[in-house]
Amino acid sequence: MNNGHLVKIESVRKNYGPLAALDGLSLTIEPGQFMVLLGPSGSGKSTLIRSLAGIEKIDAGSIYLDKIKVNRGPVNVAPEKRNLAMVFQDYALWPHLSAFENIEYALQRRKLSKDISKRKVETALERVGLSTKGKNYPHELSGGEQQRVALARAIVADPALLLFDEPLSNLDADLRERLRIEISTLTREIGATALYITHDQSEAFALADRIGVINHGKLEQVDLPEEIYERPINRFVANFTGIAGTLTGKVKRVSKTTCIVSLGEDELKVRHTVGLEIGQDVDVLIRPAATSFKKDSDNRLAATITDIAYRGRGYEHAILTKYGTLTGVFDAGSHPRGGRILVSIDPDRCIAFPTEAK
Amino acid sequence: MQKVEPSRDTFFSRALLFLRTKISPMTIFWLVIVSILVLPIILFLSVAFSPKLLDQGPEWFTFKSFKAAADPYFLQSIWHSFVMGVVSSILATAIALGVAWIVLRTNSAARKVWNLAIFALLLAPSYLIALGWERIFERAGVLNIAGIDLPFVRDLLYGPVGIAMILTFKGIPFAYLVISNAMRGLGEEFEQAVRVHGGSRIAAFKMMSTLLLPALWSGIAIVFAESISDFGVASQLSSPGRYSVATFTLYKSVMSLPVSFPLCAAISIILLLLIVLALFAQTRALRGRSFRVLSGRTRPITRHKLSKTGAVSANTAIYGLLVVTLGIPVFGAISASMIQGLGTVVANYQFNFDNYIRVIKSPLLRAPLLFSAEAALITATVAVILAAISSRLLVSTKNGPGKKFLDFFLLAAVGLPGIVFAIGYIFAYNLPLSQRYGFHLYGTVALLVLAYIATALPSTTRSLVGNMNQFQESLSEACRVHGSNGIKTWLTIVLPLISRPLLAAWCLTYCGTLLELPISQILFPPGHAPLAVGIDRALGNYDFGGGTAMEVFAIISALIVVAVAFGLYEKLAPVGWKQLGRARS
């Protein structure tokens, strides 16, 4: 079992011309922790992970790995001296080396004997379920197998820090789910600190010990997955971590944590995390889990079913209310398209934020 | 567990840090580039503005030489060079694209012959191709001896048609190498995507051509620059009365007394501006687009099975091309080498192998071949190492001043006629300053080889750019994060991935240097006549048989070297290296 790096990132800045890819970003990842950075394209998450790897040089700020500062003036600690490994989005398997040789390559820095090295590669291949594919070249492997080789290459040398650059984005849903579990268990098995970047919120919530939501080169919120979901600090975080829809209204009554929002003819009881005033215009962000077709709720809106999707354990519906569309409304039974229905809104799972000036 | 290796903050570490930032392997690379490429070019070109700088006139700054270059005689020859450059570069690149497709993407039987022939075509300098055509069609040439006279073909040959034709023939292998290397790295999924979305074969070919744009533009730029600076064709087919090109007028200026070096430099600058135009067009065409298609996910291509008609057309195209580019010149050279008395007034011509026996026996005829082979071996090895680094720099995503600087000088060196480049070397290394500091290079074999390397570097670099462009950055990044330093990354990942193109580039440079003409003529040290000088001397002495026999020997020896190099590669290179870019039958 390995001791992972303590990773400290302090006020890091990185510009590409006039564009700030990282804008004074700070983050700490405890040893052995699995941190997921969640953000849209262009938010700076790739730049951050590449800066940690030493592939990019930051313009200002500090990066510490295991209390050692790895950026020092114009010369950084070279990537090969940072004791880390990385799984790339395009896998970056070397096409002239077989799967075995690709994995073995990452072991060379450990300067092990040939026998031990061979055993370790075989173990790594076995761990990712490719013990019979060692002699195959990358082009002879499927996408999922290629990604597994990349994963085996990353873990074989027991690095102290594992970096994942959207490694599952090129795979189909089923394979993604299976590999997600493999990444999660293998990383925790070797005890490395992990930083995983993705734009997929379901992947982030499934993998992370902690999640950081990044936007425009800044961290919006870093917290436990549950906290991020239940108590998003702002509308960007709420929006990016999954909502069924947004309804706009005016605050009618406010208490410490909840308020009544008038949507027009209807009223909704919702939560708020920032101070609101009576009469203020607000957007109500509704999580998919807040919606249901239960009949015993007071917090209900009339709606029409516009679409239905079978999800195995039940059905997800898209509905149209007088105030906007909500998607992902789950029910064990199906409701026909065009049917009129009342949708219940759980006040704990919808949050009001002041409407932003357009 | 291994730890992060910190940099210690001591005096020594700071000194090391300073040295690392100031003197790296790249510093040495730049020093070499400046010494062999930049300095000779700049010194010579500066004479156009400042003749006094190198004792070529009384003025420190003047435009007089440009006024002299604006003379209609010079302007017309520059215009002719431009037209020849445009025509030959477009024709050669278009033909090379078609040939590359037939050879790499179809099961045409002719592809195997082409793979052998390409190096013969590469190694034959333009003056030899032109000479081959001349030997056949000239008055008292091979056809004439056989009783056939075709004056209209002779008229076409000694004019723009003949010059453009030979320059195109000479350009095809350069363009082919660049395009074929890029095509090897291009998986067939892009073409398949076109077909499954309703596109025809032609649409798929168009898509493939678009993805090959960096290589196509590289091909056009190389052939354009090579054509503009070519002296071989000019020396054989250009003439003031008919169709004079810039290199011919330059040669005339250098050879006539008094020599006006400032005027030569001014003409060279104008030629360089034409090259800048080509570079500008290339940059404009590719700006803001990415063509990185080679990765670990690239799958081998499957060859198209041609229909009967398709196979006949493809084979006819390849064999037809080989007949005009190689067959006729080779026939000219071989037949001339076997005729006793060709070029003399002896009327009783005999066919035998006496000329070949003379070349083997006579040290005067044999020594140049051995000397050039040694020089070509050193030149090819050093040039390929420098070209690999240069091409990586040129395709770097960091668009720094170093990249632009290198790009400009590499292209400038292609555009600079060899004869002018050689004069630049004399200027740079015969200066009192270089003599004072102990650089006694003038008149040595070392200077000749350095000049060979400098002239070979641009085309060798360009031939690798297409491949480097396909190289996904993440492959070397993955290497660094998994524990390899920069040098190991180069040795274990970059070089193996481009090993075949590197070998091709080595062979190209070897062949090119073996028969190099203009630099050899100006810079050869006493007692060490290179091959081209030896052939030229023999032809100058009307020993057409001996000269052409030397040509044939040189070409055969070069073909053997190429065959051995590729044979060794096939035998010794690891399986993984060889399978890159290989098509499934």
pLDDT digit string (tens) for B38-56? 888 888 888 888 877 777 7
**Which chain A residue has its CA at the smallest distance from B494's CA?**
A94
Q: How far apart are CA B40 and CA B42, in angstroms?
A: 6
Q: How far apart are CA A140 and CA A131, in angstroms?
A: 15
For B403-461, what is the HEC assignment? HHHHHHHHHHHHHCCHHHHHHHHHHHHCCHHHHHCCCCCCCCHHHHHHHHHHHHHHHHH
- Structural domain for B163, as ranges: 25-48+67-251+259-291+304-578
Give domain status of residue B16, yes or no: no
**Which chain B residue has its CA at the smallest distance from A86's CA?**
B481
Q: Is the pLDDT confidence value at A9 over 80?
A: yes
**Residue B397 corresponds to which tokens in the numbers above?**
């995503």
Q: What is the pLDDT of residues A32-56, one digit of tens each?
A: 999 999 999 889 999 999 999 888 8
Q: Are A160 and A5 in contact (CB under 8 A)?
A: yes
Give domain status of residue B585, yes or no: no
> pLDDT-derived band of residue B432, with 50, 70 and 90 as boundaries?
low
Within 162-181 of A, beta carbons closer than 8 Å to B belong to: 163
**Residue A13 corresponds to which tokens in the numbers above?**
């800045």
Higher pLDDT, A140 or B417: A140
> pLDDT-derived band of residue B469, with 50, 70 and 90 as boundaries?
confident
Give domain status of residue B536, yes or no: yes
> pLDDT-derived band of residue B197, with 50, 70 and 90 as boundaries?
low
**Which chain A residue has its CA at the smallest distance from B20's CA?**
A75
**Which chain A residue has its CA at the smallest distance from B485's CA?**
A80
Spell out the residues 6+ positions from residue B380 whose beta carbon is closer than 8 angstroms to its own. B456, B506, B507, B509, B510, B513
pLDDT value, residue B585 = 46
pLDDT averaged over every residue in chain A: 89
> pLDDT-derived band of residue B169, with 50, 70 and 90 as boundaries?
very high
Higher pLDDT, B535 or A25: A25
Q: How far apart are the first and last CA of chain B?
A: 49
Shortest Cα–Cα distance, B482 to chain A (Å): 5
With contacts defined as CB-CB under 8 Å, which chain B residues touch A93?
296-297, 478
Q: How far apart are CA A93 and CA A187, in angstroms?
A: 20
Average pLDDT over residues B509-535: 85
Give domain status of residue B222, yes or no: yes
Shortest Cα–Cα distance, A320 to chain B (Å): 36
Give domain status of residue B9, yes or no: no
- Tokens 């065959």 -> residue: B563
Are residues B474 and A92, on separate chains, in Cβ contact within 8 Å?
A: yes
Within 257-296 of B, beta carbons closer than 8 Å to A belong to: 294-296
Chain B contact present for A146, CB below 8 A: yes
With contacts defined as CB-CB under 8 Å, which chain A residues touch B472?
90, 92
SS3 A156: coil
The domain defined by A7-237 folds into Rossmann fold (3.40.50)
Are residues B297 and A106, on separate chains, in Cβ contact within 8 Å?
A: no
Q: Is the pLDDT confidence value at B403 over 90?
A: no
pLDDT value, residue A27 = 95
Question: Closest Cα partner for A7 from A38, A35, A44, A43?
Answer: A35
Model confidence, pTM: 0.70
Average pLDDT over residues B188-214: 74
pLDDT value, residue A62 = 92
Q: Is the pLDDT confidence value at B351 over 90?
A: no
Poorest-pLDDT segment among A199-203, B370-374, B419-423, B476-480: B419-423
**Which chain A residue has its CA at the smallest distance from B7's CA?**
A77
Shortest Cα–Cα distance, A331 to chain B (Å): 38
Domains held by chain B: number = 1
Give domain status of residue B500, yes or no: yes
State yes or no: ipTM above 0.85: no
Q: Where are the domains of chain A?
A: 7-237, 243-354
Chain A contact present for B487, CB below 8 A: no
**Which chain A residue has its CA at the smallest distance from B185's CA?**
A95
Q: Is the pLDDT confidence value at B584 over 60?
A: no
Q: Are B131 and B552 in contact (CB under 8 A)?
A: no
Average pLDDT over residues B276-286: 71
Q: Is the pLDDT confidence value at B191 over 90?
A: no
Give the side-chain half-sphere CA count within 13 A for B458: 32
- Percentage of chain B surpassing pLDDT 90? 9
**Residue B260 corresponds to which tokens in the numbers above?**
């006006």
> pLDDT-derived band of residue B198, with 50, 70 and 90 as boundaries?
low
Question: Closest Cα partner for A340 from A324, A321, A327?
Answer: A321
Q: How far apart are CA B255 and CA A187, in angstroms?
A: 75
pLDDT value, residue B278 = 77
Shortest Cα–Cα distance, B475 to chain A (Å): 5
Q: Is the pLDDT confidence value at B542 over 90?
A: no
Average pLDDT over residues B208-213: 80
With contacts defined as CB-CB under 8 Å, which chain B residues touch A193?
none
Q: How far apart are CA B30 and CA A43, in angstroms?
A: 37
Q: Is the pLDDT confidence value at A305 over 90?
A: yes
Q: Is the pLDDT confidence value at B300 over 70?
A: no
Chain B contact present for A97, CB below 8 A: yes
Are residues A109 and B482, on separate chains, in Cβ contact within 8 Å?
A: yes
CB atoms within 10 A of CB A110: 14
pLDDT value, residue A325 = 93
What CATH number has the domain bearing residue B545? Answer: 1.10.3720.10
Are residues B2 and A153, on separate chains, in Cβ contact within 8 Å?
A: no
Q: Is the pLDDT confidence value at B289 over 60?
A: no
pLDDT averaged over every residue in chain B: 79
Give the nearest partner residue to A91 out of B1, B296, B484, using CB atoms: B296
pLDDT value, residue B279 = 72
- Percentage of chain B surpassing pLDDT 70? 82
With contacts defined as CB-CB under 8 Å, which chain A residues touch B2?
83, 109-110, 160
Chain B contact present for A53, CB below 8 A: yes
Shortest Cα–Cα distance, A145 to chain B (Å): 11
Are residues B480 and A80, on separate chains, in Cβ contact within 8 Å?
A: yes
Poorest-pLDDT segment among A228-232, B3-7, B149-153, B430-434: B3-7
With contacts defined as CB-CB under 8 Å, which chain B residues touch A163?
481
Question: Closest Cα partner for B250 from B416, B374, B489, B14?
Answer: B416
Give domain status of residue B17, yes or no: no
With contacts defined as CB-CB under 8 Å, which chain B residues touch A51?
none
> pLDDT-derived band of residue A2, with 50, 70 and 90 as boundaries?
low
Chain B contact present for A101, CB below 8 A: yes
Average pLDDT over residues B475-479: 87
Give the nearest partner residue to A55 out of B7, B300, B480, using CB atoms: B480
Give the nearest partner residue to A83 out of B2, B492, B493, using CB atoms: B2
Q: Are strands A267-272 and A350-354 parallel, antiparallel or unpaired?
A: parallel
Q: How far apart are CA B297 and CA A4, in angstroms?
A: 31
With contacts defined as CB-CB under 8 Å, which chain B residues touch A77?
4-7
